[in-house]
Chain A
């Protein structure tokens, strides 16, 4: 059985990417299970998705603990322990990262023994919005890496999953996926199905008897106020809203609509964005009646959270 895990930020299209890969496997005659997993359904929040594919009925379910292939569309997740990108990654796991840094650097930084491959975000095919189509590129690469998916199955899967979004998106995604498929040809089939260990020997789950603890400890309370100040949710952001203060007429709608309360007004009534906590939802951009707010891809300028 192939076990593949995708890691991304909400809004990067990873649920769709995993479904394209799942559909492509299905078209090639595999039994398939694909599923996204998310908590906060918000742009920028770390999410993951997984795909299982096998010639036999799949009875496994849920999180993949020992992946054959891990795909990461946002390299900032690799340094975020809560994203769990490296869970169960061994020397036989292939890691595919969308990054502009050298793979050797990532291998060293993360102390990885297995094969690490990269897709350049700068060189990736861009969509009509000017952003690199990393989800589609990663699917194209993954289809090549498993060595079980033909170009025609990949193409049909992209049509199947993206048709409702219109012809332009289908064409752009096809271009991104096929380019990556070709680029990674040298590694075709290097992700293999793992032999599972025998049920005779296994690592004990190390269960414990949960001790009683009084309610002062065990009730689910967060004691301190304003703890969110310490959590830099700005790292979620993949697109940065930038306000053109020349155009701004200080209507303050952005300040009212910001769901996170990170747009404050200065003494003169001009809006200021707290980029340490702005998650990049772009509701401000949508609301601004003068179109004075633009969105630029992260990473942003030096010295700011990107």
Chain B
């Protein structure tokens, strides 16, 4: 085991290397490209015994990954943002094939307007596809989650592809100390993949992806895939236990941080959750009973664990780094459905923040607690709050005033 500074992208590449992946279909996109560049470099130097193929699009890349996985080859691929969306048809299709492989998504907000920095609308577009989703908050978690993801997806009770998600810039290009486990221990945790009865072979052809009409057979196949996804909750806990025994790091489907006696809980996903931890520590030091609950697994949704952790809490500040246009925060919706049947459920306040990589400041975490406390005291839940300051709008108006001047100069008054 060595401990060194790695970016999130470097950690993802190390995960693939330690998992001894056989095949990597690839297509570049910022901020993911460093992952496939790193792997290509290792293959070139003979440090990784894998085959990499560059495809002409993410659509072909995901098709290729799914096809390879059905032959029993351990497959790894990575994309981001627009690339994930471009391949979306095949995201649903390969999950239906029950093809287990790992796709690392480096979150980047979606166009338009186009940007490079992260939010979770890209990965959440794949929410209902059948892919399992693991969301990471640190570079260490990225490496470890790639290993856990293979165990999870390849389990015969699951057999589904897995997305491991990390935030662009905040993890992808950020170096942190990461423990790189020893090969032998990883081999023990992650033996070679044996697809058993589901192996597809050219020499022994079977038909896959058959058309079904009338709905009944379709219902069977889709619901079976749903049940397989739900099985992943139990398998994740089993695999995590073994992981902890071997590597000393514990991963639960939902991370709880200082929640035991907490009255107010931050509920959020991704790397900004470490900022929430920082705020929790600082608020605790002045006597506020605050904690953090972070779903690591989004699919399957660990509803029972979340309900358990939130029993008896007074208020929850749900922070969505995404926006379902015309509805609101996606995590807020998911949490409401999980808590609906709970007696004495906590007050839930919805915050939308960090869109397009906008920072969430320490003071904003403090303020979210203050707003939630007020909602607890008064019983009045405020409308969803976009984290957006007065100065930001003034700046926007400044830019728009330039655009108007230019509009007059450019085209004349319209």
Residues in chain A within 8 A of chain B (CB atoms): 19, 22-23, 26, 31-37, 39, 41, 58-63, 65, 196, 198-200, 202-208, 210, 217, 220-227
Using CB atoms, name the residue of chain A closest to B112.
A220
At the interface, yes or no: B67 with Cβ under 8 Å from chain A?
A: no
CB distance from A254 to the nearest CB of B (A): 28
Q: Which residues of B contact A62 (CB under 8 A)?
A: 169-170, 275, 359
Give the residues from 28 to 72 in chain B that come closer than 8 angstroms, CB to CB, to chain A. 30
> Are the C-beta atoms of B367 and A205 separated by less than 8 Å?
yes
Interface membership of chain B positions 372-414, coded 1 if the CB is closer than 8 angstroms to chain A and 0 otherwise: 0000000000000111111101000000100110110111000
The one of A33, A36, A60, A204 in contact with B367, judged by C-beta atoms closer than 8 angstroms, is A204
Task: Report Cα–Cα, A60/B360, bound state, in Å.
Answer: 11
- Is B179's beta carbon under 8 Å from chain A? no
A59 and B169 contact, CB distance less than 8 A: no
Would B406 and A61 count as touching, CB distance under 8 A?
no
The answer on a CB contact under 8 Å between B173 and A35 is yes
- Measured in the bound complex, the distance between the Cα atoms of B351 and A89 in whole Å is 30
Q: State A208–B91 Cα separation when bound (angstroms).
A: 38
Interface centre among B173, B283, B286, B387 (most CB of A within 10 A): B173
Task: Tell me the bound Cα distance from A220 to B112 in angstroms.
Answer: 8
Given A23-B5, A61-B274, A200-B286, CB of A217 within 8 Å of CB of B400: yes
Contact assessment for A224 and B407 in the assembled complex, using a CB-CB cutoff below 8 Å = yes
- On chain B, which size bracket covers the interface? 35 or more
Q: Are A206 and B391 interface neighbours, CB within 8 A?
A: yes
Residue in chain B with minimal CB distance to A200:
B286
Q: Is the CB of B282 within 8 A of A206?
A: no
Q: For residue A35, which residue of chain B has the nearest CB?
A: B174
> Do A203 and B363 have beta carbons less than 8 Å apart?
yes
**CB of A132 to closest CB in B, whole Å:** 26
> With A and B bound together, what is the CA distance between A205 and B279 in angstroms?
15
Instruction: Determine the chain A residues whose CB is within 8 A of the CB of B367 once the complex forms.
Output: 202, 204-205, 207
Residue B364 at the A interface, CB < 8 A?
yes
Query: A196: which B residues are within 8 A, CB to CB?
Result: 282
The minimal Cβ–Cβ distance linking A11 to chain B, given in whole angstroms, is 17
- Of A23, A39, A221, A223, most buried by chain B (CB within 10 Å of CB) is A223
| Known contacts A22-B5, A224-B411: A207-B400 contact under CB 8 Å | no
Q: Is the CB of A61 within 8 A of B387?
A: no
Residues in B with CB closer than 8 Å to A208 are 388-390, 393
The answer to whether A61 and B364 have CB atoms under 8 Å apart is no
Q: A63-B359, A207-B385, A210-B386 are in contact. Are A34 and B175 (CB under 8 A)?
A: yes
- Report whether A224 and B174 are in contact in the complex, using a CB–CB cutoff of 8 Å: no
A39 touches B286 (CB 8 A): no
For A223, the chain B residues whose CB sits under 8 A away are 403-404, 406-407, 410-411
Contact between B410 and A35, CB atoms less than 8 A apart? no
Q: Is the CB of B388 within 8 A of A210?
A: yes
Tell whether B230 is near chain A: CB-to-CB under 8 Å.
no
Of the candidates B277, B286, B363, which one forms a contact with A198 in the assembled complex, judged by CB atoms under 8 Å apart?
A: B286
What are 23 contact pairs spanning A and B, CB under 8 A?
A19-B5, A23-B5, A26-B4, A26-B177, A37-B173, A39-B116, A59-B281, A60-B275, A60-B278, A202-B363, A202-B366, A203-B363, A204-B363, A206-B389, A206-B391, A207-B367, A207-B388, A208-B390, A210-B388, A221-B403, A223-B410, A224-B406, A227-B410
Complex: chain B residue closest to A56, CB-CB: B281
Interface contact A33-B410, CB-CB below 8 Å: no
Task: List, in ascending order, chain A residues with CB within 8 A of B30's CB.
Answer: 41
Q: How far is the CA of A200 from the CA of B366 in the complex (A)?
A: 9
Which residue of chain B lies nearest to A33 when distances are taken between CB atoms in the complex? Answer: B176
In the bound assembly, the distance between CA atoms of A220 and B111 in angstroms comes to 11
On chain B, the residues within 8 Å of A36 by CB distance are 173
Residue of B nearest to A226 (CB): B410
Listed from nearest, the 4 A-B pairs whose CB atoms lie closest are A224-B410, A224-B406, A223-B407, A59-B278
- Does chain A have a CB within 8 A of B101? no
Whether B288 and A199, one on each chain, are in contact in the complex, defined by CB atoms closer than 8 angstroms, is yes
Given contacts A39-B116, A202-B363, contact A22 B175 (CB under 8 A): yes
Contact A65 B389 (CB under 8 A): no
Name the B residues within 8 Å of A217 (CB-CB). Answer: 400
**Do residues B274 and A19 form an inter-chain contact, with CB atoms below 8 A?**
no
Contact check, A61 vs B410: say whether CB atoms are below 8 A apart: no
Report the minimal beta-carbon distance from B125 to chain A, rounded to whole angstroms: 20
* A207 surroundings in chain B (CB, below 8 A): 367, 385-390
- Which chain B residue has the least Cβ–Cβ distance from A218? B400
The interface residues of chain A lying within 8 Å CB-to-CB of B404 are 223
Nearest A residue to B176 by beta-carbon distance?
Answer: A33
User: Do the beta carbons of B285 and A199 come within 8 Å of each other?
Assistant: yes
Q: Report B80 CB to chain A, min CB distance, Å.
A: 15
Contact present for B286 and A34 (CB under 8 Å) = no
Contacts of A226 in B (CB 8 A): 410
Within 8 A of A (CB), among B157-206: 169-170, 173-177
